Amino acid sequence: MTQHDHLLDAYARLVVKTGLNIQKGQQLLVTAPLDAVPLVRRITEHAYRDGASLVTTIYSDNAATLARFAHAPEEAFDVAPGWLFNGMAEAFKAGAARLAIAGENPSLLAGQDPKKLARANKARSQAYRPALELITGFAINWCVAAAATPAWAKSVFPGVPEAAAMEQLWKAIFACTKADQPDPIAVWEKHNADLHRRTDFLNNRRYRALKYSGPGTDLMLGLADDHFWKGGGGKALNGVFCNANIPTEEVFTAPHKDRVDGTLSSTKPLSYQGSLIDGIRVRFEAGRIVEMTAEKGEEAFRSLIGTDEGAARLGEVALVPHSSPISASGIIFNNTLFDENAASHVAVGQSYTENIRDGSKRSKQELAALGANSSLVHVDWMIGSGKLDVDGILPDGTPEALMRKGEWAI
């Protein structure tokens, strides 16, 4: 077994053990790009060794995706496989675990008709809603991990031969996920404990808002009533402890959908549905984006926040120190799973039920009254840097230094 094979196997085991914590007799539904086959096969083997009853993988193919935009009739872009997403929702309701393997080409659909892209994304979001609600409600154990692919590696290391770019990207993935450590699972147990200490502090402080100051950013972000900070692994409603992201460096909670005011600028590119979006600058009034520009991919971002009423409001706010291992790598991954764990970020769209105290026991109306957002989408974008300051605003209005120059001040 080569060194790469050894690390790939350790990574697959980490995803199954620490990411998913697959249970005996549990089914597993995997989605992945075709280029991720070697990793998926190892994950499948480890899942069966740990007692999974059935592993089902659905692969995506870049060439097939591009063929749609090149040859499909006009009306095809308002169609999505509702039958597939309904089946996924039924699988989750029946207790299946969920694993998404990221690794898509960040610029796959660059140059395609933005109107067709917007229609296709909206149709997909509408069809996927039943499954998405089970994920954002943390009904089951689920995880997002990544596999290096040639197109992704080329975007991260332009000008480098494909084999060398793939080698460098895999090395970065293994390092950022801690899969290259002698005992990755033990390292993750300590990492989870560190993140839990951070969330305990934040939940005890009960900030009513966060104040952001930095280049292009001057924002007051109100937090949802009865908000609850989360970070690291946690128990899903099915009782299984899992880590939803491998890697993760964030602590996160729910903003109040109506209490965000000011300007906010992105600090890293956002890869969204085959479009690379960069240089985002927005202005909020009463929680809603009322002005926006982007240096690259503006139409894609505009179509995203136009998906529905909630898509122009925030559903998540996350704090990540600028010195996180992913940021320290110096690599811009052009992949949200990694880049969001290199920088503090926000997400437009759907809130996570787990970020409201007793959220799973509350109705949609109760959640909305507390400030939780509802949308067909949930898309993170990065706002953190070594120049960002964040204050926590206490219930009596007193500001308290929370982050200075991107680092924890507490």
- Whether the upstream peptide bond of residue 247 has omega within 30° of 0, thus cis, is yes
What's the pLDDT at 274?
A: 85
- Nearest residue to 101 via CA among 148, 164, 49, 153: 148
- For 154-194, what is each residue's pLDDT tens digit? 999 999 999 999 999 999 999 999 999 999 999 999 999 99
- Mean pLDDT, the chain, whole residue set: 97
- Nearest residue to 12 via CA among 25, 28, 26: 28
Domain edges within the chain:
3-176, 206-228+250-408
What's the pLDDT at 1?
A: 82
- Angstrom CA distances, 215 to 276, 281, 283, 388, 408, stand at 22, 11, 14, 7, 18
Fold of 3-176: Thermophilic metalloprotease-like (3.40.1830)
DSSP single-letter state for residue 296: B
- For 243-290, what is each residue's pLDDT tens digit? 999 999 999 999 999 999 999 999 999 999 888 999 999 999 999 999
Cα–Cα distance, 134 to 93 (Å, whole number): 8
**Pair 337, 144: CB distance under 8 Å:** yes
